[in-house]
């Protein structure tokens, strides 16, 4: 380790992402000879070529491929260590925060959050990463490499959080579906075809899990990897879908679907901002948490958008 320094870590990160010595050098402000020298040092350290020329391009060796994710995580952690400050002034900051969230959360929270930042922290940037099953399954790594994840209670229990806003589940269906002329019943939930989001052991919503506990196994016909697609797969079909009410209200302009109350007491949704303990004392992160809580309170009191 005595022969290594942080500059090599940054060089490795650039080489693994760019897969080109010249572009990697430009990315970190080094000449092509200087970056070639760094690549040589890295090759000696690992005893591996890392980058192999194939025609006019470079390909990563198996070891280099395995280093992509941990190197990105290490660079992120180092950046946070050296960007820490004893105080945080949002009006003067140009910090970028990275949040993991679903398309549903981005639709409901994104615009109110950015309006708040435009007024109080115009230089602050938010980078939203799409939530997915691997990021939730490896939650410790996800929270170490980002500022946090916005997700309802019930999936994460080992990390600190702050509650943001609440919501509830509704059923959407084609308004011309003759089976639902008199409303939706529990029998319909077991007989009609479904379109669901994120189907899987660690991805299914708690409301879907409730149904199975009540002895109803949804007849899933379509599975999508986001919530906003659900209404587009309803018109002209007999399908039904479980969707967050706040999102459904925002998508009514899409048309082609009708909202129905759940025929069972679906567990309410409480969206929370989950974060790693390494961020606990960071003044900037504390400001972010407080801002999310305040914006969540605004959402709770929005006229016409609150669950009813």
**What fold characterizes domain 6-83?**
Arc Repressor Mutant, subunit A (1.10.10)
Low-confidence spans in the chain with pLDDT less than 50: 306-308
Q: Which helix (H) or strand (E) covers residue 135, if one does? A: helix 133-137
Q: β-strands 258-261, 169-173: how paired?
A: antiparallel
What is the pLDDT at residue 136? Answer: 87
**Burial of 247 per CB tally in 10 Å (0-12, 13-18, 19+):** buried
> Does 96-160+276-300 match 169-267 in CATH topology?
yes
From the CB of residue 280, how many other CB atoms can be counted at a distance below 10 Å? 11
Question: Model pTM?
Answer: 0.76
Question: Which tens digits make up the pLDDT trace of 165-183?
Answer: 999 999 999 999 999 999 9
What is the pLDDT at residue 1? Answer: 57
* Distance between CA atoms of residues 63 and 41, nearest Å: 16
Q: β-strands 57-60, 96-101: how paired?
A: unpaired
Q: Is 94 helix (H, G, I), strand (E, B) or coil?
A: coil
186: its two tokens: 């529990």
* Distance between CA atoms of residues 97 and 288, nearest Å: 8
Nearest partner of 272 among 288, 296, 307, 248, judged by Cα? 296
What is the pLDDT at residue 187? Answer: 94
Phi, psi for 234 (deg, rounded to 5): -100, -45
- Where are the domains positioned within the chain? 6-83, 96-160+276-300, 169-267
Asked if residue 284 lies in contact with residue 126, where contact means CB atoms within 8 angstroms, the answer is: no
Q: Is 240 helix (H, G, I), strand (E, B) or coil?
A: strand
Q: Which CATH number fits domain 169-267: 3.30.1330.60, 3.40.190.10, 1.10.760.10, 3.30.565.10?
A: 3.40.190.10
Q: What is the CATH number of domain 96-160+276-300?
A: 3.40.190.10
* Distance between CA atoms of residues 34 and 8, nearest Å: 11
* Distance between CA atoms of residues 36 and 22, nearest Å: 8
Residue 294, CB half-sphere, CA atoms under 13 Å: how many?
12
Give strand pairing partners of 302. Answer: none
């Amino acid at each position: 380790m005595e022969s290594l320094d942080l500059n090599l870590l940054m060089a490795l990160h650039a080489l693994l992402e760019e897969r080109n010595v010249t572009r990697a050098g430009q990315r970190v402000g080094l000449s092509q000879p200087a970056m070639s020298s760094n690549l040589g040092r890295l090759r000696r350290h690992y005893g591996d070529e890392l980058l192999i020329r194939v025609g006019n391009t470079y390909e990563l060796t198996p070891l280099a491929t395995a280093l992509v994710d941990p190197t990105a995580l290490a660079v992120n952690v180092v950046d946070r260590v050296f960007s820490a400050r004893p105080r945080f002034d949002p009006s003067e900051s140009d910090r970028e925060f990275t949040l993991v969230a679903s398309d549903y959360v981005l639709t409901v929270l994104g615009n109110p959050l950015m309006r708040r930042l435009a007024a109080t922290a115009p230089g602050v940037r938010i980078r939203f990463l799409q939530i997915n099953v691997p990021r939730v399954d490896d939650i410790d790594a996800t929270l170490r490499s980002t500022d946090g994840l916005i997700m309802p209670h019930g999936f994460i229990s080992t990390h600190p959080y702050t509650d943001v806003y609440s919501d509830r589940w509704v059923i959407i269906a084609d308004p011309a579906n003759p089976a639902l002329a008199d409303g939706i019943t529990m029998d319909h939930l077991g007989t009609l075809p479904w379109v669901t989001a994120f189907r899987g052991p660690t991805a299914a919503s708690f409301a879907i899990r409730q149904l199975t506990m009540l002895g109803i196994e949804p007849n899933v016909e379509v599975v999508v990897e986001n919530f906003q697609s659900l209404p587009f797969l309803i018109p002209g079909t007999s399908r039904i879908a479980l969707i967050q009410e706040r999102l459904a209200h925002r998508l009514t302009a899409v048309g082609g679907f009708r909202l129905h109350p759940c025929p069972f007491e679906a567990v309410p949704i409480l969206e929370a901002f989950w974060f790693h303990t390494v961020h606990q004392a960071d003044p900037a992160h504390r400001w972010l948490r407080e801002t999310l809580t305040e914006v969540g309170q605004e959402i709770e009191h929005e006229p016409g958008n609150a669950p009813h």
